[in-house]
Amino acid sequence: MALSIDFTYLDQMISPARRREIAPEILAAQKTLLGKSGAGSDFLGWLDPAALNSPGELSRLEACAERLAAQSGAVLVVGIGGSYLGARAAVEYLVSPLYNSIPKKTPDLWFVGNDVSASHLAEVLSACRGQEISVIVISKSGTTTEPAVAFRVLKKELARRYGGDAASHVVAITDRARGALLAMARAEGYETFVIPDDVGGRFSVLTPVGLLPIALAGVDVRSLIAGAADAASFCASPDFDSNICLQYAAARNLLLRAGRSVELFCGWNPCFTMTAEWLKQLFGESEGKDHKGLFPASAAFTTDLHSLGQFIQDGSRILFETVVSIGEDTASLSVEAEDGDPDGLNYLAGMPLGEINHRAERAVAMAHRSGGTPSIILTTPSRSAYEYGWMLYFFEFACGVSGYTLGVNPFDQPGVEDYKKNMFALLGKPGYEALAAQLSNK
């Protein structure tokens, strides 16, 4: 396993015996998921990571990444939700949350089209001044407002810079057979990759949606896929006592039933911050239906101990923590002794910062447990692509099992469509005139 689980800081609230009591429900949900017999079963292509990309398509994707890297100082990735979160999370986790600022041989990556802020897009274009640029546009339909607006602006910029050669600076990742973006790609001659029909956006990180930007950052995507494939074999085991994915799903469902309605995803390294954002979409969009589900939130420690720490320790007893701990730090800085001990830190002399961080993890978990906030600790040995792929799949599988245990369809998102319809109406999109009239009277 590339991930281990520790229930030490949970057991006084949800005992091992209690987790085993719910095992039949969890195993039934696992069977439904693996048997593709539940609601949303048309969107389970992610279950087999090794089959998501054929060898030929994976080689073509790697070649495309090399081409874009050779011609670009910066690549703008246009997408929203699952069309950008997984890729950005992986780049920040596996390379650096300061990716665009560090010395490297790969191009800068800017993620745009995930808002409609004029200043954000203008600032990104300003940051790319003087660099050759390319664009990866990701959309199943090509008509989702935020990325479509951004892409229209970027097409104009590419045409201004490159004229008739602008198409060679665009890659479209879209539907196999239909949609506005596919039609545009065919008309303009963009290189294209397919979003599989049976994979929803929030589960798409191991498809070209995530893999092309991740490969551009120099990450070994084959190792990422290998980790996920090994996790798939592990998570399919029906042995509840050895399957930590099933145990995690059981614990979080029991905590919800006990009144803990918020799951706080916590990391102890800034590299985890965007992964927590990916997790918030994964679980929030999958489970938040029919007035059910845990509310996913996140905290970055130790930073947020100086803002949220008081509430976690002593506020309303509504939450529990799922903590992701990285075993080995990538840097080896230590505290050095100073004459006179001016800041009182000589007691830490010789201690690596990574060890200080791990001891802080344990101290905080102990404090939160004593204050009545339980924690589930997940530990991964290091920041490797293999281990990260394993962790991504672990959470995806746990999400599917948890959703079926909860009694919802984990693979649709009907609530998201409501805001889109209202936005189309208020923006004056043709076909939404009646709704616009209704909204104007509210």
Half-sphere exposure (Cβ direction) of 327: Cα atoms closer than 13 Å: 12
Is residue 285 among the annotated active site residues? yes
Q: Where is 387: in which H helix or E strand?
A: helix 385-406
Residues 6+ away with beta carbon under 8 Å from 152: none
Residues paired with residue 135 on neighbouring β-strands, in sequence order: 76, 170
Q: Which of 299, 399, 302, 411 lies closest to 360, judged by CA? A: 302
Backbone region of residue 137 per phi and psi (left: phi > 0; alpha: psi in -120 to 50; beta: other values): beta
Catalytic entry in 36, 292, 420, 421: 420
Residue 263 token pair? 């799951």
Half-sphere exposure (Cβ direction) of 38: Cα atoms closer than 13 Å: 23
* Strand 4-6 with 375-380, pairing: antiparallel
Which residue type is seen at 371? Answer: G
Q: Is 345 helix (H, G, I), strand (E, B) or coil?
A: coil
Catalytic entry in 146, 263, 285, 387: 285
Half-sphere exposure (Cβ direction) of 47: Cα atoms closer than 13 Å: 19
Which residue type is seen at 402? Answer: S
Strands (DSSP E) contained in 9-107 are: 74-78
Is residue 336 among the annotated active site residues? no
Cβ atoms < 10 Å from Cβ of 132: 15
Round to whole Å and give the CA distance between 389 and 223. 8
* Angle of helix 85-94 versus helix 208-216 axis, rounded to 10: 30
Q: Which of 84, 81, 94 lies closest to 269, judged by CA? A: 94
* Angle of helix 145-162 versus helix 414-427 axis, rounded to 10: 60
**Residues annotated catalytic, as ranges:** 285, 420
